[in-house]
């Protein structure tokens, strides 16, 4: 009896002690099983086989696993679902895995750090910065491939890109898929009803803002929680305008060259924000609200203008009141008669350096950079694609067509997508916020940012 | 013969002793096994989920690492040296301790007041109010942050609308957008969210005080205040101590959530706390090593503060008793 009790006690004790260990063991097994060699080698192996069994038209038959990471934000995921389904139909032997969602950038981070990234990545949304990914050696060098790459229709990809790929020390690692533009929005219907003129330059913008203020509406709202909106739509175009439409100043700023921030054009541009502030045109609520709140107030006609990107109408689709008609101009900071400056905001696509199925990833690039997909993108996401083409006949929304017109106009200075160093970018955002609430002067803005740029350039 | 007899007895005694020792040894072994059964799995989990991450954070704090690269550059204590010259770190630390002190004072005063009101001043709706005061504790901090963002909204917020009832012009104060001291505005939601739990803790402590103490003091002519000062307070002091320490630790480690939701550390980093700055540096500005160093600083600050507060409150306990 005693021995039975002892045995039972020993048994329970052993079970209790071993159970958690067993749990750890099994999860570890699972973790180690996930990137097991056989599986990871599978795509390469089958791709080789695919090469051998090339189809009649000479294209490789794609097989194996192929994983696509895409962020779902203001553009939604309708286009991604559609293009992936189309690509799957064209390559039935390929096992495509979609990793998409609004938090996907954070969710996939451990995979990138652990050297097991997805094959293809759409670089958009928070916490994913192409400059940083290049510095970290995570992206495949596409320089040579892109030189001759053709899309599925046989067109050279570089020939049909509206904006060329950003170069990092002369090399290309990602290609812009979405050509977006920062700018200023208003409600055309409201302006017509109130008899307010639509702005075309800085002087007309100030004049109509005076009228709007006199009528009891606050002229301008932005999101102080995310000051890159006001920087992207107001400050950077203003810097280019003040620099005689020479965009190299922004490129030098992106390369953290200290002297670029000390150019008089930067101060001139900052003084325009000060002018807005001192005239009482900036809604006081701006400093503490997020982008959604600022957009809601704009849609409710509490404010007349909002700096934003072309994703705005799609993002707020459910909350747009009836009769609301979006007016858009890429910049308002140019002097009368000056060129409009379109600060583009592209969302890019790239192949992971450690991708397991690079052939499929390259084929997918050739698939998405086609005119058919460009038109489909404009319709499903409500933003222009980075592929040249006339979308006036497509079902794209009118503001997208307006924006496309600006972006292809010879009188528009188009600023190619620029990615700032993350520290410099944050310093500029903080300083602009401080400027809008009279905490610092434009000169202090420059001092602050120069300090950070010096450190970043080291 | 006697010698042989003695030897037999000695041998018997020897075997008996050995048997007893064996019996004793087995009992002790069983006892140890029993204790180990409870301690080992917990210790193992503690090592995996607490010790290991802390050690990892300490290790990463010695590197210049973006957090997403294969390459880490060992830089020794450079991250800590840089922290000394980073004004945002000092500002964040100041904000953290401001929240600790503000929350301790606010939560303890209100939680004690409500606990006493709901136990000593017997009234009909006390159970109802107990539930009402506890509700914020079951709401996620994220929801609390969003809710208070609406309260503070300068255009459509409750606070400005309420104040506008008493003024000629519409009040349009930007509660979360002052050039300085915006951190003050995070105190009310943080206190509001914390009262319920500590109130329940103190209610339990007050209810364990024998009613006869109050009856006897009442007969001696002691009023409510005297009873609170000389009976309730000394007898719930242990629970109050635990509450204060817990508020301190949860604030230092967890206030970043409410900061991220309500202000994102702004405007111009004025509401940054160490946790939110850690997140900012590690995940948005790609300085994972520096973020880890801030984490180590939070750990050291928490440990030092806990030791100091325990010493301070220990002395007070002696005074009371």
* Tokens, residue B270: 């004025």
Query: Rounded distance, CA A431 to CA A408, Å?
Result: 33
Of chain B, the end-to-end C-alpha distance in Å amounts to 71
Residues sharing a CB contact under 8 Å with residue A199, sequence separation 6 or more, in sequence order? A184, A186, A205, A208, A305, A329, A332
Q: Give the residue numbers in B contacting A (CB under 8 Å), as ranges.
A: 30, 33-34, 36-38, 40-41, 44-45, 48, 66-71, 149, 152-156, 172, 174-177, 179, 263-264, 266-269, 280, 283-286
Domains A4-180+345-414 and A181-343+417-457 share a fold: yes
Q: Are A431 and A449 in contact, with CB atoms under 8 Å apart?
A: yes
Buried b (16+ CB within 10 A) or exposed e, A345-364: bbbbbbbbbbbbbbbbbbbb
* Tokens, residue A299: 């849609």
Q: Count Cα atoms within 13 angstroms, Cβ side, for B295.
A: 20
Asked if B41's CB is within 8 angstroms of A20's CB, the reply is yes
Tell whether the model's pLDDT for residue A230 goes beyond 60.
yes
Q: What are phi and psi of A149, to 5 degrees?
A: -65, 135
A235 SS3 class: helix
Tell whether the model's pLDDT for residue A43 goes beyond 70.
no
Q: Count Cα atoms within 13 angstroms, Cβ side, for A281.
A: 21
Q: How many cross-chain Cβ pairs, A to B, lie less than 8 Å apart? A: 117
User: What are the tens digits of pLDDT across the range A335-381?
Assistant: 999 999 999 988 999 999 999 999 999 999 999 998 888 888 878 88
Residues sharing a CB contact under 8 Å with residue B45, sequence separation 6 or more, in sequence order? A20
State the nearest Cα–Cα gap between B284 and chain A, in angstroms.
Answer: 6
* Tokens, residue B284: 């948005």
Tell me the angle at which helices A2-33 and B2-46 cross, rounded to the nearest 10 degrees. Answer: 30
Tell whether the model's pLDDT for residue A48 goes beyond 60.
no
Q: Of A294, A441, A297, A286, which Cα lies nearest the Cα of B176?
A: A286
Nearest to A285 among B44, B68, B154 (CB): B154
ipTM of the complex: 0.82
CA geometry: angle at B272 spanning A272 and B302, to 5°?
170
pLDDT at A386: 87
Query: Which pTM was predicted?
Result: 0.81
Asked if B172's CB is within 8 angstroms of A284's CB, the reply is yes
Rounded mean pLDDT, A80-104: 94
Domain ranges in chain B with CATH number 1.10.3720.10: 78-320
pLDDT at A419: 87
Query: Rounded distance, CA B283 to CA B181, Å?
Result: 26
Percent of chain A exceeding pLDDT 70 equals: 85
Q: Which helix (H) or strand (E) holds B310?
A: helix B288-320
Extended strands (E) in chain B: 63-64, 73-74
Place of tokens 């009262």: B195
* Tokens, residue A450: 């120069």
* Tokens, residue B17: 């002793």
Nearest CA in chain B to A105: B283
Listed in sequence order, the DSSP H helices in B153-228 are 158-164, 187-207, 211-219, 224-227
Q: Of A277, A319, A322, A273, which Cα lies nearest the Cα of A298?
A: A319
- Does B78-320 carry CATH code 1.10.3720.10? yes
Nearest to B155 among A9, A13, A297 (CB): A297
Instruction: List Cα–Cα distances, A2 to A7, B20, B26, B31, B32, in angstroms.
Output: 8, 17, 12, 15, 18
Asked if A21's CB is within 8 angstroms of B268's CB, the reply is no
Q: Are A261 and A234 in contact, with CB atoms under 8 Å apart?
A: no
For domain A4-180+345-414, give the CATH superfamily: Periplasmic binding protein-like II (3.40.190.10)
Tell whether the model's pLDDT for residue A390 goes beyond 80.
no
Which of B34, B70, B283 has the most A C-beta neighbours within 10 Å, making it the best mutation to test the interface with A?
B70
For residue A110, the tally of other CB atoms under 10 A from its CB is 10
Rounded mean pLDDT, A121-131: 89
Nearest CA in chain A to B66: A136
Asked if B70's CB is within 8 angstroms of A137's CB, the reply is yes
Tell whether the model's pLDDT for residue A25 goes beyond 70.
no
Q: List the domain boundaries for chain A.
A: 4-180+345-414, 181-343+417-457
May I ask the CATH class of domain A181-343+417-457? alpha beta
Nearest CA in chain A to B72: A136
Extended strands (E) in A149-196: 167-168, 171-172, 174-187
Contact residues, chain B, for A421 at CB < 8 Å: none
pLDDT at B23: 60
């Amino acid at each position: 009896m005693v021995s039975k009790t002892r045995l039972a006690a020993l048994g329970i004790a052993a079970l209790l002690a071993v159970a958690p260990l067993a749990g750890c063991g099994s999860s570890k097994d699972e973790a180690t099983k996930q990137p097991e060699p056989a599986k990871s080698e599978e795509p390469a192996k089958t791709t080789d086989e695919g090469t051998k069994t090339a189809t009649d038209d000479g294209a490789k038959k794609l097989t194996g696993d192929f994983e696509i990471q895409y962020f779902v934000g203001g553009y939604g995921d309708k286009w991604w679902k559609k293009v992936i389904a189309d690509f799957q139909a064209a390559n039935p032997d390929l096992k495509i895995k979609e990793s998409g969602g609004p938090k996907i950038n954070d969710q996939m981070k451990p995979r990138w750090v652990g050297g097991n990234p997805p094959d293809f990545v759409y670089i958009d949304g928070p916490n994913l910065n192409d400059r940083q990914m290049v510095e970290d050696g995570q992206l495949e060098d596409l320089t040579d491939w892109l030189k001759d790459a053709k899309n599925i229709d046989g067109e050279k990809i570089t020939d049909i890109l509206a904006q060329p790929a950003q170069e990092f020390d002369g090399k290309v690692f990602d290609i812009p898929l979405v050509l977006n533009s920062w700018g200023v929005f208003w409600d055309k219907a409201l302006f017509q009803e109130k008899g307010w003129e639509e702005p075309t330059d800085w002087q007309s913008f100030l004049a109509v803002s005076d009228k709007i203020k006199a009528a009891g509406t606050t002229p301008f709202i932005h999101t102080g929680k995310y000051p890159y909106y006001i920087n992207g739509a107001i400050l950077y175009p203003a810097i280019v305008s003040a620099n005689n439409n020479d965009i190299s100043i922004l490129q030098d700023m992106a390369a953290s060259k200290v002297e670029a921030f000390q150019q008089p054009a930067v101060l001139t541009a900052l003084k325009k924000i000060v002018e807005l502030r001192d005239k009482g045109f900036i809604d006081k609520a701006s400093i503490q609200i997020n982008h959604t709140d600022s957009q809601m107030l704009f849609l409710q006609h509490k404010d007349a203008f909002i700096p934003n990107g072309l994703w705005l109408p799609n993002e707020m689709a459910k909350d747009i009141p009836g009769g609301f008609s979006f007016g858009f101009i890429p910049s308002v900071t140019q002097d009368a008669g000056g060129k409009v400056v379109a600060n583009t905001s592209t969302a890019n696509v790239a192949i992971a350096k450690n991708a397991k199925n690079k052939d499929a990833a390259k084929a997918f690039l050739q698939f998405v950079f086609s005119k058919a997909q460009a038109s489909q993108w404009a319709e499903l996401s409500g933003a222009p694609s980075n592929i040249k083409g006339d979308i006036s006949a497509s079902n794209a929304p009118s503001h997208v067509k307006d924006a496309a017109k600006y972006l292809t106009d010879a009188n528009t200075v188009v600023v190619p997508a620029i990615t700032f160093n993350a520290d410099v970018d944050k310093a500029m955002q903080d300083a602009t916020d401080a400027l809008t609430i009279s905490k610092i002067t434009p000169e202090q803005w420059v001092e602050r940012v120069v300090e950070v740029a010096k450190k970043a350039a080291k | 013969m006697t010698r042989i007899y003695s030897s037999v007895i000695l041998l018997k005694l020897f075997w008996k002793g050995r048997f007893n020792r064996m019996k004793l040894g087995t009992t002790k072994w069983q006892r140890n096994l029993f204790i180990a059964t409870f301690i080992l799995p917990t210790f193992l989990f503690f090592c995996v989920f607490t010790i290991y991450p802390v050690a990892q954070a300490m290790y990463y704090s010695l590197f210049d690492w973006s957090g997403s690269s294969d390459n880490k550059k060992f830089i020794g204590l450079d991250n800590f040296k840089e922290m000394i010259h980073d004004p945002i770190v000092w500002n964040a630390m100041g904000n953290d301790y401001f929240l600790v002190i503000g929350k301790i004072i606010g939560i303890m005063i209100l939680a004690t007041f409500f606990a006493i009101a709901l136990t000593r001043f017997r009234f009909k709706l006390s159970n109802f109010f107990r539930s009402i005061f506890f509700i914020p504790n079951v709401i996620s901090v994220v929801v609390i942050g969003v809710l208070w963002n609406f309260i503070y909204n300068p255009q459509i917020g409750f606070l400005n609308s309420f104040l506008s009832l008493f003024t000629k012009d519409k009040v349009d104060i930007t509660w979360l957008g002052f050039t300085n001291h915006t951190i003050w505005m995070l105190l009310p939601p943080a206190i509001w969210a914390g009262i319920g739990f500590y109130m329940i803790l103190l209610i339990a402590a007050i209810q364990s005080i024998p009613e006869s103490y109050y009856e006897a003091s009442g007969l001696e002519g002691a009023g409510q205040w005297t009873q609170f000062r000389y009976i309730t307070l000394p007898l719930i002091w242990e629970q109050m101590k635990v509450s204060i320490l817990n508020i301190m630790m949860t604030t230092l480690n967890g206030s970043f959530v409410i900061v991220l939701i309500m202000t994102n550390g702004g405007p111009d980093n004025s509401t940054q706390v160490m946790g939110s700055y850690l997140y900012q540096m590690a995940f948005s500005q790609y300085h994972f090593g520096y973020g880890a160093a801030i984490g180590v600083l939070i750990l050291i600050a928490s440990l030092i503060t806990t030791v100091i507060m325990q010493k301070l409150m220990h002395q007070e306990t002696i005074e009371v008793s």
